[in-house]
Amino acid sequence: MPLATLEGITTNYVVQGAGPHLLMFAPGGFDATVARWSAGGVWKEMDAINALSRHFTVIAYDRRESGSSGGRVERLTWEAYARQAKLLLDHLRVGQAYLVGGCMGASVALAAAARYPAMCRALLLHWPVGGYRWMQKGRGAFNRHMDFVRVNGLAAVAARAASEKKNFWLDPESGPWASVIAADAGFAGQYVKQEVRQYLRIVAASRDALFSDTMPSGATGEELMAMNLPALILPGADASHATSAAWALRELMPMAELWEVLPPHQNGQNVLERMLEFRRAAEQAAQTA
């Protein structure tokens, strides 16, 4: 797959298909990679990239600090994640796209739509994250990493990331930069030289920026209420993908519709059909506006 360097961060991406552009924000929490679109659930059943590329020009990528993309030790925010997406579209000279996000990718899609509305034709949000248990899971992962750093130091983090080769979700002690440490010896060498107290401040600030409350992640209530974009919300129903998060988005977003089909009744076929139905309706509405 090709690589783009976006403000100093390498981004691994793929472009496939024909038709209107569809920018894909991967599911998988802090393992948001192209491979996650075929790793499990409805996306595996659908064979998402291949299926959607029959109807769209799909653009899928590894989010920064995930997979084969790079990263940078700095305060991690929804805005930073959204900026990577905007820079990738600029790199590809794509002015506007549909945005589809799964899981935490739905949050990045919301952040991108809030900050760069001109780049968004419509939003498709599958299993948006939010709720108390989601907040606790995210804050807990950051706290475990900080506790490990305080006791063992940054060299131990780097050694653990290199040996375990697991993402932050699977091994919180390795931290949010684990995949970059494991893949890039130069990055790892600079990582261990940081001043620990300043590093811990960055990690705490990242935790508080990404997991500040129980609202759906990615955009504030005020940003959601100002989001005049067609949106389709496909709800989840578990600890991370609280059904209440989907309902909150439906309540706040002026042009959103909620598909009232819950797991396990969602599958690769009916999710694909519902997404394509939404696209047809959005395009018809745009033509008559």
How does pLDDT run across 65-119, given as a tens digit for each residue? Answer: 999 999 999 999 999 999 999 999 999 999 999 999 999 999 999 999 999 999 9
Per-residue pLDDT averaged across 29-47, rounded? 95
Per DSSP bridges, beta strands 256-258 and 9-17 are unpaired
Residue 126 parent element (H or E): strand 120-126
Q: Looking at domain 3-131+216-288, which of 3.90.1150.10, 3.40.50.1820, 3.40.109.10, 3.30.720.200 is its CATH number?
A: 3.40.50.1820
Q: DSSP secondary-structure letter at 258?
A: E
Task: Supply the mean pLDDT for the chain.
Answer: 97
Is the separation of the CB atoms in 171 and 178 below 8 Å? Answer: yes
Q: How confident is the model at residue 288 (pLDDT cuts 50, 70, 90)?
A: confident
Please give the pLDDT value at position 1: 76
Instruction: Record the tokens describing residue 247, joined without a space.
Output: 């309902």
Q: How confident is the model at residue 287 (pLDDT cuts 50, 70, 90)?
A: confident
R_g of the chain, CA atoms, integer Å = 18
Is the separation of the CB atoms in 195 and 237 below 8 Å? Answer: no
Residue 49 has pLDDT above 90, yes or no: yes
Please give the pLDDT value at position 285: 87
CA-CA distance, 257 to 57, in Å (whole number)? 24
Domain spans, the chain: 3-131+216-288, 133-210
Residue 129 has pLDDT above 80, yes or no: yes
pLDDT tens string 175-216: 999 999 999 999 999 999 999 999 999 999 999 999 999 999
Residue 289 has pLDDT above 90, yes or no: no
pTM equals: 0.97
Place of tokens 């790793």: 39
Please give the pLDDT value at position 40: 87
Give the chain's end-to-end CA distance (angstroms, integer).
Answer: 39
Per-residue pLDDT averaged across 262-282, rounded? 97
Please give the pLDDT value at position 251: 97
| Residue among 248, 222, 178, 219 at smallest CA distance from 82 | 219
